Amino acid sequence: MSENFLGGYKKWISLAGRGDIYLSYQALTARKVYFEPVLYSDYVVSSEGTKVHKIGSFAKFIYPDGSVVADGKWRPDFLKLQTIRTGRHRDCFTPGRYANCPDRRPQLLPDWQPEPDNPGYGHYVIVDEWGNKLRAFSYRLVGQDGQIFQGKSGANGRTKPLPASAHPLREIQFPVEVW
């Protein structure tokens, strides 16, 4: 949420994100692409522009944890905001370091993948926040019929083959990550 005073009063709201203005993604083998930005309304950064034009007077950003930064940048520090939101170190959000962070956040892709060589069975894929497949990640799944399926994802992030009666799932848990 930004507020400017110089050159006429202006107040507006915009979404913060990881990339620059021309952020792009490639999905070379995708048949469908869905883009759903996530709004964390409890984590709003306020920006207040300077009221006087002088050297060393910068807009200040007020983060959800109460910290105030006025460092001359024109937008908030997205990695700082992610650190506040998740409690994880900022290095966990840099692409080169993320794979080594001990607390990657697993997700189960919602699509049921049938096993072509094993009719009546299929699998799910376990990925991190950015869609990277997680191997050797423990899972506990409860099927619609109440049956429990436990295991570790394989090198390709897949669960073990599950009977079709497991889909759709009633409950998903990731109890312990295995390194």
* pLDDT, tens digit (0-9, with 9 covering 90-100), for 153-171: 998 999 999 999 888 999 9
pLDDT value of residue 69: 93
**Terminal alpha carbon distance of the chain:** 40
At residue 79, the pLDDT reads 83
Give residue limits of the domains in the chain.
Answer: 1-101, 107-173
Percent of the chain with pLDDT over 70: 87
Closest CA to 13 of 57, 72, 76, 55: 76
Residue 176 scores a pLDDT above 60: no
3-class DSSP state for residue 86?
helix
Distance (Å, whole) CA 46 – CA 1: 5
Residues in CB range of 28: below 8 A, 6 or more apart? none
59 in Cβ contact with 70 (< 8 Å): yes
pLDDT at residue 52 is higher than 80: yes
Q: Percentage of the chain surpassing pLDDT 90?
A: 28
C-alpha–C-alpha distance, residues 24 and 29, integer Å? 16
Query: DSSP string covering 12-70, please?
Result: E-----SS-TT-----TT-S---------TT-PPEEE--SS--TT---EEE-TTS-EE-
Q: In this structure, what token pair is assigned to residue 172?
A: 């998903």
Dist. CA 74–CA 1, nearest whole Å: 13
> Are the beta carbons of 76 and 85 closer than 8 angstroms?
no
Report the alpha-carbon distance of residue 88 to residue 151 in Å, rounded.
26
pLDDT at residue 12, rounded to an integer: 73
Mean of the pLDDT values across residues 112-126?
A: 93
